[in-house]
């Protein structure tokens, strides 16, 4: 275990994270943001984690433009964010990524 991680959400663990998919959601109530698949990159504070959001529909190209359908995985960049424990939950068994 990473000594900087308290173990609630270990580094590299699959999780679900609240993240907005649209500008309208982003401007709305965070409690209404959808739960999307993600991965814990690291814990960066007592109740804060750096998270990779594994949602292909949010992936971008290197110049931050939307990725066209059919873009190969190696050319995609996914969003990362910082979230507290209330905006992260463990991924359930059988959940697809």
d(CA 77, CA 24): 22
d(CA 40, CA 16): 10
Report the alpha-carbon angle 85-50-9, nearest 5.
45
pLDDT of residue 1: 52
Task: Tell me the two tokens of residue 15.
Answer: 């999780």
d(CA 45, CA 34): 24
pLDDT of residue 3: 72
Indicate the pLDDT class of residue 96, thresholds 50, 70 and 90: very low
Indicate the pLDDT class of residue 93, thresholds 50, 70 and 90: low
d(CA 49, CA 86): 11
């Amino acid at each position: 275990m990473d000594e900087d991680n308290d173990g609630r959400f270990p580094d590299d663990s699959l999780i679900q994270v609240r993240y907005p998919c649209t500008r309208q959601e982003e401007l709305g109530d965070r409690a209404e943001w959808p739960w999307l698949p993600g991965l814990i990159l690291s814990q960066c504070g007592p109740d804060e984690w750096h998270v990779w959001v594994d949602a292909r529909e949010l992936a971008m190209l290197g110049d931050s433009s939307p990725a066209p359908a059919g873009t190969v995985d190696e050319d995609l960049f996914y969003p990362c964010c910082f979230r507290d424990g209330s905006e992260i939950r463990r991924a359930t068994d059988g959940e697809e990524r």
